[in-house]
A and B are shown apart, each in its own frame.
Chain A
Amino acid sequence: MIWLSWRLQRTETLVALGILGLLTAWLLPTGLDMWHAYYHDGLAGCLSTAGPGTACGGAVGLFRARFGGIDNLATWFNLVPGLIGVMLALPLVSELENGTYRLGWTQSVTRRRWLLARLVLPIVVALLAAGGLIALFSWWRGPLGHLDGRLDNGTFDTTGVVMVGYTLFALGLALALGAVWRRTAASVAVSFAVYIAARLMVDSKLRDHLVSAVSATWKGRPPASFENAKVLNLVATIHGHRVLSGGGFTGGGVKLQAPNLNRAVIHAVYQPESHFWPLQFTETAMFCGVALLLIAFAAWRVLRSD
């Protein structure tokens, strides 16, 4: 049964490998460039020796001017786990659509065993693909992570472990919709759209609140945890007058710049960089949990169908 399951999703697995290969071919040169520039243009040294508050402005500016464009392009990487996840659901959904599952169900294996093999294999391939993507993107983005911290969405989405959750989520969505509709094209299109919508919502609304943020008030030197933090809200006041407010990132070199800021009382709510892993694990668990529910639902639908 494992052989059949593999044979039926061989094409999709190879396409997933192909996507990984293409991405690697594309990212390898720029990644090597970036790491080279990072170490040889003095940025690494500046960031490691300079304490919080000191600016490596010049080096950072140069680095950004050179590689910032690529980083913006990298938003598109968010589509990759969705693409791979949805694609890995194709073999099973198209079997439900064209009726060949009846062939499987009238051999000597029970439906449960048939379904188990048909679900475990895409899940395993999804996990492996997600692992590959994580390794690739983490390496590639490494220097930018040192620059801005890892909490901006672009880095957060492509490093750590969240991609595992995203890939499984897309797989679960397509399986669940496919089990209900039994129409491959519609299931793929809608699950991909839902994947993007869910990701946008989590990225923009939910993520900052998955782990409770740090709230701090200071005058003069900011607390150490403020370095590379993701600022959800910040208000600077001088004698009760607001002189600055907003949010953003406090990565290396990009410092709060405002007149007389040293005299201001600053109140900030932020996610310190130390929350990176708690945030990653919470979000991964969330997406994996939903994915497992969707896959269980799909399994239930398929098993009781006739």
Chain B
Amino acid sequence: MSMALETRGLGRRYGSQWALRDCTLEIPRGSVTALVGPNGAGKTTLLRLAVGLTRPSAGSVHVLGLDPHADAAEALPRVGFLAQEHPLYGAFTVEEMLRVGRKLNPGWDDEAARDRIAGLDVPLKKKVRSLSGGQRAQVALTLALAKRPELLLLDEPVASLDPLARREFMQSVLAAVAERELTVVLSSHILADLERVCDHLVILTAGRTQLAGSIEEIVASHRLLTGPRDEAEDVARAHDVVRESHAERQTTLLVRANGHVYDSRWTVHDLDLEEIVLAYLGQGATPRREVVAS
């Protein structure tokens, strides 16, 4: 079965600037993936490429085995997308927004949409432009969910929301995932927003993939090693060094371990996800290597 999202050497250039470059990753179906990276890392570009809003300058992208551009008629009904600014027609009432969804999506689940809106206490007759930011986000999410997509792409869905609205929004996403088979990719520049709901992670910085894989596997494979400075190079030959810092005689290495790390001269520490992500984000604009896993 094809991946929910699969890219090969995917790149997008605006003028001479690469917004996304040489991005290769696979996101399996049924996963909930956090797409993390600083602002300007290419998260929005990657998601827009996936839903066909943007065309690749290099490489290829497939969603559910389909080319989002060439197979748009087939791919669009199966992919839900929520843009960062939650675009909705301000002059429409909530009810009219639902009607937009019904008219434009053959798979539209009107009952579920109305139930969701009722559950959120958003008045159907209210104009969209008079809703709060959290309500707007929820209406936009309702629109994306009620078309019953197999893959849901959410671009910085909670960036503009207050903490309470963030929590409610993420709960809505979790509830949708629990309800039926749904693959979700959500982006954020803050991992804390996503950590609780995700089982996969992709880290993008400066338009490149730094790390992609299941969170479980990522946490299991990363280690912090402290040991003699003169043997750091031996470690680097066996494992991928993400970050290193040197004291006078002692070196600290954050590595992605290939197999087990045994060495009596090195002390080994486990890491939590946040420390690992920070180490990758700290690599900044000049990545030394790309690590790709699925």
* Interchain CB contact (< 8 A) of A106 among B73, B81, B103, B107: B81
Roughly how many angstroms separate A105 CA and B80 CA in the complex, as a whole number? Answer: 11
Band of interface residues on B: 20 to 34
Q: When A3-B99, A4-B104, A107-B105 are in contact, do A306 and B72 touch as well, CB less than 8 Å?
A: no
Does A1 lie within 8 Å of B104, measured CB to CB?
yes
Q: What residues on A are CB-neighbors of B106 within 8 Å? A: 108
* Interchain CB contact (< 8 A) of A107 among B53, B91, B147: B147
A68-101 interface (Cβ within 8 A of B)? 98-100
Closest A residue by C-beta to B78: A108
* Interchain CB contact (< 8 A) of B72 among A11, A98, A100, A111: A111
* Interchain CB contact (< 8 A) of A108 among B96, B99, B104: B104
Does B100 lie within 8 Å of A4, measured CB to CB?
yes
Q: What residues on A are CB-neighbors of B147 within 8 Å? A: 107-108
Does B72 lie within 8 Å of A99, measured CB to CB?
no
Q: Does B127 contact A (CB under 8 A)?
A: no
* Interchain CB contact (< 8 A) of A102 among B55, B73, B83: B83
Closest A residue by C-beta to B147: A108
* Interchain CB contact (< 8 A) of A1 among B51, B77, B85, B103: B103
Contacts between the two chains (Cβ within 8 Å), count: 63
Does B72 lie within 8 Å of A106, measured CB to CB?
no
* Interchain CB contact (< 8 A) of B77 among A99, A105, A108: A108
Q: Does B101 contact A (CB under 8 A)?
A: yes
* Interchain CB contact (< 8 A) of B55 among A3, A108, A306: A306
Roughly how many angstroms separate A104 CA and B96 CA in the complex, as a whole number? Answer: 14
Q: When A99-B85, A100-B89 are in contact, do A106 and B76 touch as well, CB less than 8 Å?
A: yes
Q: Does A209 contact B (CB under 8 A)?
A: no
Q: When A7-B92, A306-B48, A306-B53 are in contact, do A109 and B87 touch as well, CB less than 8 Å?
A: no
A92 to chain B, nearest CB (A): 13
Q: What residues on B are CB-neighbors of A8 within 8 Å? A: 89
Closest B residue by C-beta to A100: B87
The 8 closest A-B CB pairs, nearest first, are A107-B104, A108-B77, A106-B81, A306-B54, A108-B105, A100-B87, A103-B87, A110-B72
Residues of B near any A CB (own CB < 8 A): 48, 51-55, 72-73, 76-77, 79-81, 83, 85, 87-89, 91-92, 96, 99-101, 103-107, 143-144, 147
Q: A100-B89, A105-B52 are in contact. List 8 more A-B contacts (CB 8 A).
A: A100-B87, A102-B53, A103-B100, A106-B76, A107-B101, A107-B104, A108-B76, A108-B105
What are 6 A-B pairs at a CB distance below 8 A?
A: A1-B104, A3-B103, A102-B81, A107-B101, A108-B76, A109-B104
